[in-house]
Structure 1
Amino acid sequence: MNTIELNAAAEKIIQGSVDPKKVREILEYTLSQMQTINSFPDETQAEVLTNHIAEMVERSEDNKQLDDVDVSVFDGLPEDSVKLAGKVIDKIGNLKDQEKYILAVHFEVARK
């Protein structure tokens, strides 16, 4: 498996998160699963993804939810990205289903 080396900023995000162990676990799962759809983030994309995952874990644990999002804006996203993002959302737990659309954008930006 091709692993991503996280930069110092991403490591700092993980360490400063509400649950560093869970954030790292979800991030590693997400990065490995992204490879199945030919999505390979560069260092900056991995850092942004790390921040997003840390925020999702915090929302999940604090029982906070994003404001409603018009999911029709994301109609052009490929189904494999949305499906994978749904698996990540489920793995985190206690998040609105619509969060998968926002997460799927990260996968598409890094797709090769």
Structure 2
Amino acid sequence: MIAEEIRKVIENSSDSSTCEKIILEVKELLKQANIQMTDAQWLSLVSHLSGMVYRSTHKKLIDPIDKELFNEVSSDSIKLAEKVCNLFNDLHEDEKYLLSIHFESARLKN
């Protein structure tokens, strides 16, 4: 069931081949970081990555965010998010903070 939902997110992405490539790279980064996600967390992350593909491809930047809101997020989660963001072109640097929440919540559940 979850695999079908993920497939739909990828297919509906603005660039499904780039989306799939990014997802595979992120899977490897998660494996290296020893982070395991629930199906719901993975679906949420894939959806966020699909949005990042769209923003990168169409040069749409998120609005700047207050970094202090993320003070309690571990530096490991932020660094991992930064690695993922570096797979893209033309993303706002603050994107890493939003993305880091996915990794932090997965770390906390383990």
Q: TM-score when scaled to structure 2? A: 0.91
Q: Which residue of 1 aligns with 2:31?
A: 35
In structure 2, the residue matched to 1:110 is 106
* Partner residue, 2:77: 81
- SS of 1:22 mapped into structure 2: helix
Letter paired with 1:102: L
Q: CA RMSD in A?
A: 1.2
Question: C-alpha separation between the residues in 1 aligned to 2:40 and 2:73?
Answer: 21
1:8-41 residue CA offsets vs partner (Å, 9 max, x unmatched): 1111000111111111111111122123333211
| Worse-matched range after superposition: 34-43 or 95-104 | 34-43
Alignment of 1:62-81 (within 5 A): 62-81=58-77
Amino acid at match of 1:85: A
Q: Distance in 1 between matches of 2:37 and 2:24?
A: 12
Identify unmatched segments of 5+ residues in structure 2: none
Letter in 1 for 2:12: G
TM-fit CA distance, 1:76: 1.2
Structure 2 counterpart of 1:22, which letter? T
Stretches (4+) displaced over 4 A = none
Matched-pair identity in %: 32
User: Following TM superposition, by how much is the alpha carbon of 1:63 offset from its aligned partner in structure 2, in angstroms?
Assistant: 0.8
> Taking structure 1 as the reference length, what is the TM-score of the superposition?
0.89
SS in structure 2 of the partner of residue 110 of structure 1? helix
